Structure 1
Amino acid sequence: MISKINLVTIWTDNIEPMKNFYNDVMGFEIINDLGEYVEFKNEGVRFALCERKVMVNFSDEYKIRANGQRFELAFPCESVEDVDHSYMILLDKGAVGVKSPQNMPWNQRTALFKDPDGNIHELFVDLE
């Protein structure tokens, strides 16, 4: 069995707002923009957005919409202060806050925010 992830793609019906969010708000550089598919520069796993309608031609399964939170992207920070500061920067750039920074029982400081499709993501740092 293959146990390696090479690419994470977020399926969307709103490519432009999502592209602008991950480029302008999150700071991911666009390395490939085909209109309905956008790939960003990312260390390690490749990261992309794709219009859902592109894949419907390959399988009707892509017509099925996810209901509720199905995944989370977690963005590591350098320090507690970095979590707090990064969260404020994201809010200033237009991200929607879900939960302000706080220390969690699993020994991390986290903050939660949403992308334009409503996917909830996390900033975090491990606490000493």
Structure 2
Amino acid sequence: MNFVSIRLITADLERLVRFYERLSGLRATRYTEDFAELITPACTLAIGSTRTLQLFGGDIARPADNHTAIIEFRVDDVDESFRRLKDVIGGALVQEPTTMPWGNRSLLFRDPDGTLVNFFTPVTKEAIAKFNR
């Protein structure tokens, strides 16, 4: 098995795509007006409008209703990312950069639909080794 993507369902595709483009510095590929992807070296973030749910049988997911997942991005310098993206994150900040007990320095905030997003940088010897394998 190979984990390849996470898909977010949203009522406002363009708003969410623009947000993740600004965060990542990547351009999304828009396949239709209802579906786009941001492709990173490790995984793809897919974003679909609520209209795409009909292709899966109807009301199977609710936009802006995630209370269990955190989307995580490894960045080179979480403190620099925080300084650069403060205006993008705005009032959606959950936690400023903090070094976690497992060795990552972590910045936690919410996207426009309320999904938690974590930018992190491994900072301890063990965490660096784990992510450089």
TM-score bin, normalised by smaller chain: 0.7 to 0.9
2:113 maps to 1:117: yes
Aligned residue pairs total 123
3-state SS in 2 of match to 1:62: coil
What residue is the counterpart of 1:89 in the other structure?
Answer: 84
What residue is the counterpart of 1:43 in the other structure?
Answer: 41
Compared CA separation, residues 30 and 67, structure 1 to 2 (3 A)? closer
Task: Give the fraction of aligned pairs with identical amino acids, expressed as a percent.
Answer: 24
> In structure 1, what is the Cα distance between the partners aligned to 2:8 and 2:49?
9
What TM-score comes out, normalization by structure 1 length? 0.80
Give 1:19's aligned amino acid. V
> In structure 2, what is the Cα distance between the partners aligned to 1:26 and 1:66?
20
Q: CA deviation at 1:32?
A: 2.8
What residue is the counterpart of 1:108 in the other structure?
Answer: 104
> In structure 1, what is the Cα distance between the partners aligned to 2:21 and 2:65?
25
Q: CA deviation at 1:107?
A: 1.9
Unaligned runs of 5+ in 2: 125-133
Instruction: Identify, as 1 or 2, the structure richer in helix.
Output: 2
CA RMSD of aligned residues (A): 2.2
Q: CA deviation at 1:84?
A: 0.9
